[in-house]
Structures are given as C-alpha cells and as structure tokens.
Amino acid sequence: MSIGNSPEDERPFEDDSVAADHEEARPSIGHALRQARIAAGLTVDDVSSATRVRMNIVHAIEADDFSPCGGDVYARGHIRTLAKAVHLDPEPLLAQYGDEHGGRPAPTPAAPLFEAERIRPERRGPNWTAAMVAAIVAVIGFVGFTMFQGGDDGGNEANVAEGSTPDDSASPTTKTKKPADPKPEPSDSAIAAAPQDKVTVRVAAADGRSWIAAKDHNGRMLFDGVLKQGDTKTFQDSTKVHLVLGDAGAIDLFVNGKKIEEDFQPGSVERLTYTKGDPEAG
C-alpha cells in the first residue's frame, strides 16, 4: 500500500517517448519540399529556372544536405525561395531548420562609437593659396585673349578700309546638327495586328505573380522568369509558341489578338502550344 501517492503518480513517464514519436512523424525539410514540388507538377529543372537556385543545390536540399548552401543564412534563404516556388508556407520549415541547426544566427555586434569617431576625416579649412593662384591665372588668360581678339579686329578693319572684300570663310558659321528623331517602340496593339503568317502570344499577370517560360518552334528560349502582377510579355514566332505557366490562374492569355477563355485554376501548372490561325491550345 502506497502512502501519499495517487494512481497517476505511480504510472510510468511517457513524455519523452511521445515527443520522440512526434519528431519521427514530422517529415524532414527536404522531403516536404520534394513532395510539394511533385504535387505542383514541377521538375527540379523547372524550380531551378524559376528561382535561379542551381540544380545541384535543389537536389541537395531535397536530400536534407544543406552544406552546398554556404552557411545558415543562405540555407534559410534557399528554403524560403524553394517553398514559395512550390506553393508551400516557408515559416514552419524555417522554424524546423532552426530547431535542427541551433536557431537563428547571432547578429553581428555593432562597432563601438569611439571607433567611428576615430576614423572620421578631419575638416580642413579652404586653401586660399590655391584659390589666389587660380584667380591670377584666370585674369592673365582673360587679358591675353582680349588683346588677341583686338589684334584680329584691327587687321580686318584695315582690309576693309583699303577696299578689299572680307573673306566670308574667315568666320565660319557653326551649324547645329538636328538630332535624329528616336524610333518609336512597337506597342502591344501593333504586335497584336501582326501578319496572319505569324503567331503572336501576349501573357498578362492580371491576378497575381506567376513564373512563365516561352520557347519558339526551334526550342529556343524566349523568356524564363517571374511576371509580377500587372506585368505583360509578348512573344511572336513564324510557326508556334510553347508556354509553361507556373500559376495559370493568375494569367490572361491573348493569342493573335483574341483572348483565350480558359478556366485555369489558381496554382495550376499549364503547358500550352499555340500556332497560326484561330487560337487553339496544342
């Protein structure tokens, strides 16, 4: 018979085992990023192109190897960038990284105030000697120039008094060259009215930002980057234009001057091909 102990006090402790099971149930940072990328329908090449993070670093982070990042600060930045690219909230991943790698890096201590005061350049007074020398040189130059001009005018007056005709070529007239008018840049309406033997595709980020990639019929990359809300891009080719839209729900498409009425869902990845004639997704 126990004295002074309740039944709850006699039960074995389970806090450590429960915490351990919770840690094992939580997926790793790299696994979470990889699963989100696959769910978004993106390849490692797509994510690398959209974020400008090298492919070997993307592969390493998805394998929970953060050594190629070059330090905790860069690792946190890469985690945040990759999470946003695959439509994942980066804050839980950053908190998990802090738990596993010792929290946030310590801030760099500020330099003492007296150090800044010590290296401040001293103020110097104006150099009056140099100013006086410059003034004297300017006066001498002005007097010499005036005397030279007076001598030239006297010679011309003598020539006129003797009846000679002054040479008009002695005082040439300076002609001002009119600058050429700048060539106006083609507007979107001019591109939309392109000949029918070409395909013209205009992409507008109307409802948010989206990563897009565009190639011509030869596979040459025309654009690879992120359009912010309100930005537009226009692509033209003689045969066809290939598109990859990272967030198709945020995009308005115009093909050969006509709007594409497709019900693209927010966050969906769309791969499209447009050719000449009526707009038709390939």
pLDDT tens-digit readout, 132-182: 888 898 888 887 777 766 655 544 444 444 444 444 444 444 555 555 555
The Cα 74–Cα 131 span in angstroms is 53
Laid out side by side, the sheet with 232-237 consists of 232-237, 199-205, 251-255, 258-259
The Cα 278–Cα 256 span in angstroms is 7
Q: What is the mean pLDDT of the chain?
A: 75
The Cα 139–Cα 137 span in angstroms is 6
pLDDT above 90 for 63: yes
Give the pair of three-digit tokens for residue 143: 């007097």
**Which whole number is the average pLDDT over 47-52?**
93
Give the pair of three-digit tokens for residue 23: 């840690």
pLDDT above 60 for 49: yes
pLDDT above 70 for 282: no
Confidence at 125, pLDDT banded by 50, 70, 90: low
Q: By the 8 A CB rule, do 44 and 37 touch?
A: yes
